[in-house]
Chains A and B, each alone.
Chain A
């Protein structure tokens, strides 16, 4: 597994050596602080978590777009792919590197925890579970983004498709009511109704953001943890398959 670590190390270095990471972080915290600090009334991280989760959805595509697309565009993938490194190690290293940057952003949001800790008496339980939720959510977004990045050599295309897919996985919940309405109109056919019902229950659980809110409240539910872990592993697996299909 040390191969994954070498890839990770290389990517982290290149991420933190490029101005992009710092520009993203500076803009991120300028905006989030502007929206949060003036209106902070309660010694709770909930407002911050909600905002950071929303902003991560917008930011993550920019952090993940480089991961493979840039290698493809510059031809450096020929080095990686012809080295004695498995696709799994490659993908794991790339994913962890993106997570390091996402982790840095999440860690920097500790400034808000510091504020509520100094000026109030917060309930630290939900604050901790909220951070766990943020990490899992950003992991899901990262794996999705890394996958999208492996599909193209164009970074903008990678970012746009990652954002689009994430958005789709967020609003998918809204499609449920449409399917429900459709199911209600199928009163005649039992089979069609069953299909619509099954689809509805899949849609109900597919939303990538729906599994996050319980963490914010202070609840850790194995369902959500398994959802995120399965989500992350599945997309990393897709990415590895994608690389394997390109080479020996």
Chain B
């Protein structure tokens, strides 16, 4: 549904996002996990159309946000890291304004506002100035704003940051509830939050995708599984993946973003302690495929998790 293709963004000499690609499927909740300064916010801003990418594209059902921003934005709901709230408005008038500029038809604005207020639990502060409501409420109003036009995709940037534990739980439950009906991309630097709410996880480190995996795959890797990157040329589509999966000791073969036409890339995950490089080489040689790349993942996932855990500890210390 929402596809990120090779997106790159530089800030001055600094490469904040570096050739990131992944897909968000309809109905799924995808977590964007990474330590602080991994480029999550930049990436989400690009996906929401707040920042232009230097290179690459963001496609919603094949529609490029750079080419038809209005049409794409109509179908996106975005909650920035700091909720974009007008302090001098009441909650209700703020949501009505959001409904107006997000193209909700006139007759359904009021009912939409009531509905999202109900769902996010801010109905009891509807008439109060945003200036005067608590942080948890502000985050919910931000969420309500993102949902007001019933978007196909919700992009939520660190929705629980800076909240107290009770509020975090409330918001997580709310997101969990939303994920039943909506397609959600959620970013966080906290592993448990992502695992609590998401089906699949994209791990971002220093602007690059370190891994894309399901909860189970992630758990497996955490237990010590190993991953290889394999690139072959000359195989029929699907043939290579099938062949590699048949190797005893290989748990999974995931297609990775392609590099050149005619070749295929895979992320091959193996049982702990098993080195699949030998069998893969032989398999390829026997089938007459050209093996272009065969490597252990360059960034050790371990390192990322150490960072993540450190972040988590730091934030729970706060």
Direct contact of A and B (CB under 8 A): yes
Q: List B contacts of A78 (CB < 8 A).
A: 45, 48, 50, 78, 80, 82, 84
- The reply to whether A247 and B98 contact each other, CB–CB distance below 8 Å, is no
Flag B43-76 by CB within 8 Å of A: 1 or 0 each: 0011011111100001000000110011101101
Number of residues in A with C-beta < 8 Å to the partner?
26
The answer to the question of B150 belonging to the interface, with a C-beta cut-off of 8 Å to chain A, is: no
Min C-beta distance of B216 to chain A, whole Å: 33
- The reply to whether A82 and B78 contact each other, CB–CB distance below 8 Å, is yes
Min C-beta distance of A117 to chain B, whole Å: 38
- The reply to whether B85 and A248 contact each other, CB–CB distance below 8 Å, is no
Q: List B contacts of A75 (CB < 8 A).
A: 80, 82-84
- The reply to whether B86 and A14 contact each other, CB–CB distance below 8 Å, is yes
Min C-beta distance of A162 to chain B, whole Å: 22
Q: List A contacts of B53 (CB < 8 A).
A: 248
Rounded to whole angstroms, the CA-CA distance of A248 and B47 in the bound complex is 9
The answer to the question of A81 belonging to the interface, with a C-beta cut-off of 8 Å to chain B, is: yes
Rounded to whole angstroms, the CA-CA distance of A77 and B49 in the bound complex is 12
- The reply to whether B50 and A81 contact each other, CB–CB distance below 8 Å, is yes
The residues in A between 189 and 248 inclusive whose CB is less than 8 angstroms from any CB of B are 245-248
Q: Which residue of A lies closest to B67 (CB)?
A: A248
The residues in A between 21 and 80 inclusive whose CB is less than 8 angstroms from any CB of B are 74-80
- The reply to whether B80 and A248 contact each other, CB–CB distance below 8 Å, is no
The residues in B between 85 and 114 inclusive whose CB is less than 8 angstroms from any CB of A are 85-89, 97-98, 100-103
Rounded to whole angstroms, the CA-CA distance of A80 and B102 in the bound complex is 9
Rounded to whole angstroms, the CA-CA distance of A13 and B86 in the bound complex is 12
Known: A3-B101, A79-B98. A84 touches B84 (CB 8 A): no
Q: List A contacts of B85 (CB < 8 A).
A: 74, 76
* Of B58, B69, B71, B88, the contact of A17 (CB 8 Å cutoff): B88
Q: Which residue of A lies closest to B70 (CB)?
A: A84
Min C-beta distance of A85 to chain B, whole Å: 5
Rounded to whole angstroms, the CA-CA distance of A6 and B89 in the bound complex is 14
Q: Which residue of B lies closest to A244 (CB)?
A: B52
Q: Which residue of A lies closest to B64 (CB)?
A: A248
Rounded to whole angstroms, the CA-CA distance of A3 and B102 in the bound complex is 9
Flag B24-51 by CB within 8 Å of A: 1 or 0 each: 0000000000000000000001101111
- The reply to whether B66 and A248 contact each other, CB–CB distance below 8 Å, is yes
Q: List B contacts of A101 (CB < 8 A).
A: none
Rounded to whole angstroms, the CA-CA distance of A244 and B43 in the bound complex is 18
- The reply to whether A6 and B52 contact each other, CB–CB distance below 8 Å, is no
- The reply to whether B50 and A76 contact each other, CB–CB distance below 8 Å, is no
Rounded to whole angstroms, the CA-CA distance of A44 and B189 in the bound complex is 69
Flag B238-278 by CB within 8 Å of A: 1 or 0 each: 00000000000000000000000000000000000000000
Q: List A contacts of B80 (CB < 8 A).
A: 75, 78-79
- The reply to whether A84 and B52 contact each other, CB–CB distance below 8 Å, is no
- The reply to whether A14 and B88 contact each other, CB–CB distance below 8 Å, is yes
- The reply to whether B69 and A76 contact each other, CB–CB distance below 8 Å, is no
* Of B45, B58, B97, the contact of A6 (CB 8 Å cutoff): B97
Q: Which residue of B lies closest to A86 (CB)?
A: B70
- The reply to whether A82 and B48 contact each other, CB–CB distance below 8 Å, is yes
Rounded to whole angstroms, the CA-CA distance of A201 and B145 in the bound complex is 53
- The reply to whether A82 and B49 contact each other, CB–CB distance below 8 Å, is yes
- The reply to whether A247 and B50 contact each other, CB–CB distance below 8 Å, is yes
A-B contact pairs, 27 of them (CB 8 A): A6-B97, A6-B100, A14-B88, A74-B84, A74-B87, A75-B82, A75-B83, A76-B84, A76-B85, A78-B45, A78-B50, A79-B80, A79-B84, A79-B101, A80-B101, A82-B73, A83-B101, A84-B102, A245-B52, A246-B52, A247-B49, A248-B46, A248-B51, A248-B53, A248-B58, A248-B65, A248-B69
- Sample of 14 further A-B pairs with CB below 8 A, known A78-B50, A82-B73: A18-B88, A74-B84, A74-B85, A75-B82, A78-B80, A80-B101, A81-B50, A83-B73, A83-B101, A84-B74, A84-B102, A247-B51, A248-B50, A248-B58
Q: Which 9 A-B residue pairs are closest in the complex by CB-CB distance? A: A79-B84, A248-B49, A6-B100, A78-B80, A84-B74, A84-B73, A76-B84, A82-B48, A83-B101
